[in-house]
Amino acid sequence: MKDKIIASLKRLNIEEYIISITSYKSAQMFFVKKSLDCKRAENTKTYNVNVYRSFEKDGQKMKGNSSVYVYNGMTDAEIDASLSRAYLAASFVCNPTYDLMECTENKFITMESDLFNYTLEECCEKTAEALFAEDNREDVFINSAEVFAYESNVEILSSTGIESGYTKRSVSGEFVAQCKEPQDVETYKDFRYNDLDCESLKAKVRQTLEYTIDRAKATEAPKAGKYRVIISDSYVNDVFSYYSGRAQAGYIYAGYSTFEVGQNVQALNADGEVAEVKGDKVSMTLVPTEPLSYEGIWQRELELLDNGVLKTYYGGLRFSRYLGIEPTGFFGCVNVAPGTMSVEDMKKQPYLWVVNFSDFQMDDFTGHFGGEIRLAFLYDGEKVTPVTGGSINGSILDSQTNMHFSKEIQKSADFVGPYAMCFEDVPVAGV
């Protein structure tokens, strides 16, 4: 099929293109309580062709592009028809011209992972085994779970000579923990690892089961007001997405973000004025989860923020070219430097520690963050009470100059950084 696509591109005189070929193999298991309810296997392959067309409009050089999928079993005539329609469509896409990624080095690599020591079926089964290993209590249990083991094989070919690719494995899934007494409650958690990290998964299950017991005891919502709020686990990563979102080349080019390289972006308030950063300063590195982007960019770690100061913009090919920066691609993982305060230190003053939201949202346009509280621990200075209900309605623009990060860290496939963070005076809608 690859040769048929290239032959078609030649027949149609399409000079610039990027072809992405992705093969997936997977093994999947779906559990309800202690039953395997369904199992699945997959073996699929997709071909995506992005065609580019250079032209002039009103005296300005343009480059349009359009992408289509080509499928196994398509005849030469069908491929020609699909690609020629895409090529025509590209002539209506009036974007200022830019250069495609040059070929610097062609190679095919297999990303390191101990998952390659097993078959996909074994990866799936061993992950399921780790997931259920902690499910041995009577008061709380795993209600349902899904486990996936994936192998993806990606190949990128371009008109500029790129012919590279990689093979990657991962395991992922989700589970719901349930506790029936004193009230029937549940907690949802998902997971993703690039190695067979059974111990991390067991720890996640263990903690989720504990939190679910706490939630079963929680009946009251916190009173409405402003609180010193602590969040932990994956919600910490969500908050930091504000900085990575606003530093994207696309946001900068469009004027959605006023972040400037060399500027202390953590010191900006809602009016765009600079304030003193009294809390911990954000130091952040972007880490690729795939070595090669779909545009043929070999990806490497990128320092984004150093003590709140923006070091660089980042992004895909087109907007990076427009801004005159090196194209970096996009990043699936963020590393954030931990703070100096321990979680125990954070908990010395009154706090509302939210350990589970129904759905936490961080809006990198408005800076608002929040969500409904599924489980939080409220410390009023005397005692700790589990609470549920109400919602957090904060703004990073109001909070970022006075937030603290824990020195304890968490690790997952998409985040390495503080386990918890703390904000002052966050509005909470409660009873």
Partner 1 sequence: MKVKESEYLKLKKPILKKLLEKLLAKYEYASILANDSKSTNYRVSKTGTNISEDGTLSERGFCVKVYDNGKAAEYSFSAIEEDTVDAVFDEITKRLDTLGKTLPEGVTAFGFDGVEDEKLYINESTEYEVDPEEKGDNNIIDLLTRISEKGRAYDEKIIDCSVAFSYQKYSKIFLSRNKDLTQNVMWSCGYIVAMAKDGEEIQNGYKPVSMLGGIEVLDTLESNLADACKTAIELLSAEPMIPGEYDCICEPDVTGMIVHEAFGHGVEMDMFVKDRAQAKEFIGKQVASELITMHDGASTIPQVATYFFDDEGVAAHDTIIIEKGILKTGICDAQSAMHLGVAGTGNGRRQDTTRKAYTRMTNTIFEAGTSKVEDMIASIDYGFLLCQASSGMEDPKNWGIQLMVDIAREIKDGKLTGKIFSPIVLTGYVPDLLKSISMISDSIEAGGTGYCGKGYKEWVKVSDGGPYIKARIRLG
Residue 331 structure tokens? 């990043």
Q: Is 69 in the site for partner 1 (CB under 8 A)?
A: yes
Indicate the burial class of 44 (C-beta count within 10 angstroms; 0-12, 13-18, 19 or more): exposed
Q: Is 117 in the site for partner 1 (CB under 8 A)?
A: no
Instruction: Tell me whether residue 103 or residue 277 sits nearer to partner 1 (CB atom).
Output: 277
Near partner 1 by CB under 8 A: residue from 4, 12, 55, 68: 68
Residue 365 structure tokens? 């346009």
Q: Is 393 in the site for partner 1 (CB under 8 A)?
A: yes
Q: Is 186 in the site for partner 1 (CB under 8 A)?
A: yes
Task: State the nearest-atom distance from the C-beta of 271 to partner 1, in Å.
Answer: 4
| Part in contact with partner 1 (CB under 8 A); list of ranges 21-29, 194-202, 279-287, 407-415 | 21-29
Instruction: Tell me whether residue 128 or residue 346 sits nearer to partner 1 (CB atom).
Output: 128
The answer to whether the bond into 386 is cis (omega within 30° of 0) is no
Which of positions 325-384 make contact with partner 1 (CB under 8 A)?
358-359, 361, 363, 365-368, 370-372, 374
Residue 231 structure tokens? 């969040």
Total residues interacting with partner 1, rule: CB under 8 A = 98
Q: Is 324 in the site for partner 1 (CB under 8 A)?
A: no
Near partner 1 by CB under 8 A: residue from 7, 15, 57, 71: 71
Q: Is 271 in the site for partner 1 (CB under 8 A)?
A: yes
Q: What is the pattern of x (binds partner 1, CB under 8 A) and - over residues 129-168?
A: x-xxx-x-------xx------------------------
| Part in contact with partner 1 (CB under 8 A); list of ranges 250-258, 307-315, 330-338, 402-410 | 250-258
Near partner 1 by CB under 8 A: residue from 162, 196, 268, 334: 268
Between CA 308 and CA 243 the distance in angstroms is 9
* DSSP H or E run through 204: helix 198-217
Near partner 1 by CB under 8 A: residue from 152, 347, 389, 414: 389
Query: Are the CB atoms for 126 and 146 separated by under 8 Å?
Result: no
Near partner 1 by CB under 8 A: residue from 81, 88, 109, 203: 88
| Part in contact with partner 1 (CB under 8 A); list of ranges 86-94, 157-165, 198-206, 300-308 | 86-94
Residue 256 structure tokens? 């959605």
Task: State the nearest-atom distance from the C-beta of 140 to partner 1, in Å.
Answer: 14
Spatial CB neighbours of 156, under 8 Å, sequence gap ≥ 6:
18, 19, 20, 21, 162, 163, 164, 165, 292, 294, 295, 296
The full 3-state SS of 232-271, as one line of letters, equals ECHHHHHHHHHHHHHCEHHHHHHCCCCCCCCCEHHHECCC
Residue 258 structure tokens? 């006023």
Distance of CA 413 to the CA centre of its chain: 9
